[in-house]
Amino acid sequence: MAKYRKLSRTSSQRKALLRNQVTNLIYHGRIRTTEAKAKEVQKIAESIIALAIKERDNYETVTVQAKVPLKDKDGKRIKEVVDGKKVTKFDTVDKEIKKDKPSRLHARRQMLKVLYPVTEVPSENAGKKRNTKKVDLVAKLFDEIAPKYENRKGGYTRIIKIGERKGDAAMEVVLELV
């Protein structure tokens, strides 16, 4: 018996399809797809979530000094003239950051191999670059999803059958995070 389903695609197409579906499952919490695809996506998603749970608390907090630009009441940077050039004024601030330990860093990179980058675009600025923001799905896995499934021994997703698709009668299912 084969270790995975080929889904009638070449390997590059299959990998792209599965990465896309896993990314959407993590981002939205549920996807609608065929039963065969859902079973393959489920394998990948469960392993990623298990990795996030395992490495969830494996970091240390470090205090670093960061240079932050000073801003006026309108939110614009304050400039000063130095040697005939306008230069932004900076202030030094102490910040607390999470520093990953080596095993958590490796887990983060393993997740990034599977997950595509996601960019959120506000509905009022559709088609424009302004106010778009990148979503950190790995941070979402570590901070939101892993604590939710902390005491669970597996089975982080469920497949619910919703019937046959009209065009080709393929069994459609909803794959969702439990």
User: Contact 57/31 with Cβ under 8 angstroms?
Assistant: no
pLDDT at res. 124: 79
Q: Give 3-state DSSP helix, strand, coil % of the chain, rounded to 5.
A: 35, 35, 30
pLDDT at res. 30: 97
Quickly state the pLDDT bin for 3 (edges 50, 70, 90). Answer: confident
Q: Which residues contact 14 (CB under 8 A, 6 or more apart)?
A: 6, 7
pLDDT at res. 130: 74
Nearest to 45 by CA among 14, 20, 13: 20
Quickly state the pLDDT bin for 54 (edges 50, 70, 90). Answer: very high
The backbone torsions φ and ψ at residue 130, rounded to the nearest 5 degrees and listed phi first, read -65, 140
pLDDT at res. 1: 54
Domains of the chain are 11-58+101-177 (3.90.1030.10), 59-100 (no CATH)
Tell me: the pLDDT tens digits for 152-172?
999 999 999 999 999 999 999
pTM (2 d.p.): 0.84
